[in-house]
Amino acid sequence: MIRVLSIIDSISEWSGRLISCFVFFLAFFLLYDVVLRFAFNAPTIWCHELALHFFGAYAVLAGPYALLHDKHVKIDLVYNLFSKRGRAIIDCITFPLFFMFIGLLFWHGLHIGMRAFELKQTVSPSPWASPLWPVKLTVPLAAFLMLLQGLAQYIRTLKLAFTGKELS
């Protein structure tokens, strides 16, 4: 069990590390376009569009990493009044809502992404008209990773709530 959980953790960790280098691509595409446009008066048709695709993937795929490291902002004025175990008990009640949201996101994201693939949707209006399905499919991918990570957290929380001991 503990091995499975740590495998899930490292999937989130490494998907985050992998995606973190996208920010350099973003900077490069945009700079390249500024330089070409300003110095050579020759703007590209693809730079901004490609930056958008990369940003979409970057934004949504940073979610599992943030979940692993507990970076999602919570309002903890009341929450912090409880003991560690008390907080775990509260989390047990709220976690199903998380699964509802991410589950729906996975299902509908997959549906929308598959449709974009079948209908060969492209970015419009755009001279380059790049396909939309790769970036749309990052939504269900991210949702899937979040579900995995959420499941791992939930198992730990349940353990802490019921036994008062942390799963090590």
Partner 1 sequence: MTELLPILTLVGGLLFGLITGFPMAFTLSSSAIITALIFFGPQTLPFVATNIFGMMSSMVLIAMPLFILMACILEKSGVAEDLYAFMYQALGPVRGGLSMGTVLICAIIAAMSGVTTTAVVTMGLIALPIMLKQGYHKSIAIGPILAGGALGLLIPPSISLIVYGMVARVSIGKLFAGGIVPGVILVGAFLAYIAIRSFLQPNYAPALPKEKRVPFKELIFLAKGLILPIAVVGAVLGTIFAGIASPTEAAAVGVAGALVSALINRRLNWTMLSEAAIRSMGITGMIMWILFGAACFTSIFFRTGGQDMIADLLLGFENPVLIFGFILVVMIVLGFFLDEITQVMITVPVFLPVIVQLGYDPVWFGILFMTQVQMDYLTPPFGFTLFYMKGVAPPEVSMGDIYRSILPFVLIQLAVVIFILLYPEVVMWLPNLLF
CB of 157 to partner 1, least distance (A): 12
Q: What are all long-range contacts of 85-91, with beta carbons under 8 Å and residues at least 24 apart?
A: 85/160, 85/161, 85/164, 88/157, 88/160, 88/161, 89/161, 91/157, 91/161
- Confirm if 46 and 121 have CB atoms less than 8 A apart: no
Nearer CB in complex with partner 1: 1/97: 97
Interacting residues with partner 1 (CB under 8 A): 16-17, 19-21, 23-24, 26-31, 33-34, 38, 48, 51-52, 55-56, 58-60, 62-63, 65-66, 69, 71-80, 87, 90, 93-94, 97-98, 100-101, 104-105, 108-109, 111-112, 135-136, 139
Give the separation between CA 15 and CA 86, rounded to whole angstroms.
31
Nearer CB in complex with partner 1: 24/162: 24
Give the separation between CA 116 and CA 149, rounded to whole angstroms.
27
Nearer CB in complex with partner 1: 2/104: 104
CB of 65 to partner 1, least distance (A): 6
CB of 132 to partner 1, least distance (A): 9
CB of 78 to partner 1, least distance (A): 5
Nearer CB in complex with partner 1: 8/63: 63
How far, CA to CA in Å, does 114 sit from each of 117, 135, 137, 151?
A: 5, 11, 8, 25
CB of 105 to partner 1, least distance (A): 5
- Confirm if 156 and 111 have CB atoms less than 8 A apart: no
